[in-house]
Amino acid sequence: MVQDNSYAASLLDALEYAAEMHRDQRRKGAEASPYINHPIQVARLLASVGGVSDLPALMAAILHDTIEDTTTEKQDLVERFGDEVAGLVEEVSDDKSLPKAERKKQQVDHSPHLSDRAKMIKIADKICNVRDIAENPPAHWDLDRRRRYFDWANAVVDGCRGVNDELEACFFAAVAESSAAVDGEAS
């Protein structure tokens, strides 16, 4: 599918911004991969598995952790990418001023109320996180903590169901494969 140059330029602008904002960050896994790989994977899943070609959704996927995990504020995104993209990023962002347990509870409680595009971003994000936790977990995460993450991710995605069958199937397959891998480690 050929898009016009403004489509590609917009995606690359979002990628450049996310790379700059996440430049000093690493993933929590033992390999400590560059953080920017994660939002790229989320956007790739939306496009390749979910069949999403909606530009604001793909841009928001690339930017989805900028408000939550960098110095970016919503207004920064509004000024550079517009209200629509900034709103989607805000919609999938946790309030870091809250304790972690409350943020996790809010993700479960709020997921049914997200827009369809935000739900798809959330599902793709959880697919990536589940795979990462199975394949390259943080060093201090024991098997029980990894299993609890899979259960929590399931609860979040349950609230997002009904927006994209392919992403949902991919998520549940990732959880099944990841759970089997973790259970295999326990044996």
- Determine the pLDDT at residue 114: 98
Task: Give the CA distances from residue 38 to residues 115, 130, 132, 178, in Å, rounded to whole numbers and listed in that order.
Answer: 22, 12, 9, 17
- The catalytic residues are 68-69
* One-letter identity of residue 55: L
**What local confidence, expressed as pLDDT, does residue 38 receive?**
96
> Encoding tokens for residue 167?
């992403």
CATH number of this structure's domain 5-186, picked from the four choices 1.10.3210.10, 1.10.10.10, 3.40.50.11540, 1.10.40.30: 1.10.3210.10
Q: pTM of the predicted model, to two decimals?
A: 0.94
Give the residue extent of every domain in the chain.
Answer: 5-186
Per-residue pLDDT of the chain (187 residues; tens, 9 = 90+): 445 579 999 999 999 999 999 999 888 877 888 999 999 999 999 999 999 999 999 999 999 999 999 999 999 999 999 999 999 999 999 999 999 999 999 999 999 999 999 999 999 999 999 999 988 888 889 999 999 999 999 999 999 999 999 999 999 999 999 998 888 877 7
CA distances from 126 to 3, 71, 95, 130, 178 (A): 28, 23, 18, 6, 12
Write the DSSP assignment of 120-142 as a string of letters.
HHHHHHHHHHHHHHHHS--TT--
pLDDT at position 4? 56
Q: How many CA atoms within 13 Å lie on the side-chain side of 86?
A: 12
Identify the DSSP state of 72.
-
CB 55 within 8 A of CB 10: yes
